[in-house]
Amino acid sequence: MHGYMPPSDTAESVTSGHPDKLCDAISDAILDECLRIDSNARVAVETMVKGIGGEAVIILAGEVSLNGRTPDYERIARDKATSIGYVDSRIGMDASSSELCDVLTYITTQSQFISQGVDGDLDTQGAGDQGVMFGYACIETEQTEELRGRFFPLAAALSQRLTRRLEQVHDEQIIPWIRPDGKSQVTVQIDKKNNAPKGISTIVIAAQHAPDAGPNWPDENNLSDEERRLYIEAEIRKHVVEHAIPSSLMKDPEVIVNGTGSFPDPGGPYADAGLTGRKIIVDTYGGGRHGGGAFSGKDPSKVDRSAAYYARWAAKHVVASGIAEKCEIQVAYAIGKSNPVGLRVETFDTSRSELGTDPDQEISRLLMTHFDWRPAAMIRDLGLKRPIYSATSSGGHFGRVPTDEGLFPWERLDSEKIEALAGAIRDRE
């Protein structure tokens, strides 16, 4: 590489049809069904998919304990894969066909040695495992009207918007030759003076498509490879990029569509095997520190999921209250113990001077005072025993808009908590 490359931040996202996200979707669909049957269900389900020679396999493995009927795991897996668009082996998998797609199930009950430390009330319910979780928030999205209120890294927010739009274009057949598998990536240039985003330099889209995609699809056409490539690029620009990226940020970025020139059928599980939990950075903030625990297929007693959600919730309140422009929270647990064994805050020198000589320590104290980090309390405060997880399996778990139906509750801001944090500044003035 030659020449000067300005400071930048890059994040990627993948569609629900990406093989790994397909697995996350199946695992979370099983979780939601278990929670519909028993809100106290204990679930840890992994999924693997692979297509080969016109056939495919979905493998389900893990542990489930619940009071009630056993879900039809095979039906859930097939329904979820077909709803994403895998209904033809020529695309990558035909999940609707028992002849062309096997579903193998290896799900047992949870170990009694884990459950004995996890069940209980606010004071006695311990963490489902040891581990370290991170939550993060910042002001990068707050200068763009369409993204305001997210308090999220800009590159990650934009890459997620692109893949969610790519999914919509597929589901609604806005571009009829688009297939389920796809990726996006956004590079944002950073202003060195104030370490803030100043514009998009590069947008990358990978979109699986029919081999004969063209202006007259599906009728036969005589496009050359280059003509077809240019046509696909123009359609993706028009229906995906220009729709998903706010016009205020479109200052002539480089747009790369299918960088190798083509991404034709078969894609999805035929092109790559998929596994649950292999997109942990895509699921979170697009980069930065991560404790390593994946989310999908895990019920909220697993702090890998609930504590990561709670840490995001707390970090978002710190930034929304105005006491810091960036906030990263690290929280750690020991299996079977209700209180965290450690909590650390890093605001990267963006906190208010009124907080004193050690502002990060002061913010840590405030978070321990105004947020309850015990597993049962986190589950209570965010209402995590509900079947709300399928919506998280693609498009990112964070930086989303909370809904009236109760989705993404960790993105909801609590005015009383904001006032309590902001009050700490006023008390020192």
Name the residues annotated as catalytic. 18, 20-21, 46, 63, 183, 263, 272-273, 278-279, 298, 302, 304
Q: Going by DSSP bridges, is the β-strand pair 196-209/254-257 parallel, antiparallel, or unpaired?
A: parallel
- DSSP structure string for 264-319: BSS-HHHHS-EETT--HHHHTTSSS---S---TTB-TTSHHHHHHHHHHHHHHHHH
Q: How many CA atoms lie within 13 A of 406 on its CB side?
A: 10
CA 158/CA 161 separation, integer angstroms: 5
CA 316/CA 307 separation, integer angstroms: 14
DSSP single-letter state for residue 143 = G
CA 15/CA 279 separation, integer angstroms: 11
> 83 Cβ partners below 8 Å, 6+ apart?
none
Cis peptide before 218 (omega within 30 of 0): yes
> 282 Cβ partners below 8 Å, 6+ apart?
12, 13, 14, 396
Query: Quick check: helix, strand or coil at residue 328?
Result: strand
CA 70/CA 75 separation, integer angstroms: 12
Rg for the chain, CA atoms, rounded:
23
| Dihedrals phi, psi of 257, to nearest 5 degrees | -115, 125
Give the count of beta carbons closer than 10 Å to the beta carbon of residue 310.
27
CA 329/CA 204 separation, integer angstroms: 30
CA 50/CA 64 separation, integer angstroms: 23
| Dihedrals phi, psi of 164, to nearest 5 degrees | -65, -40
Give the count of beta carbons closer than 10 Å to the beta carbon of residue 215.
12
CA 285/CA 198 separation, integer angstroms: 19
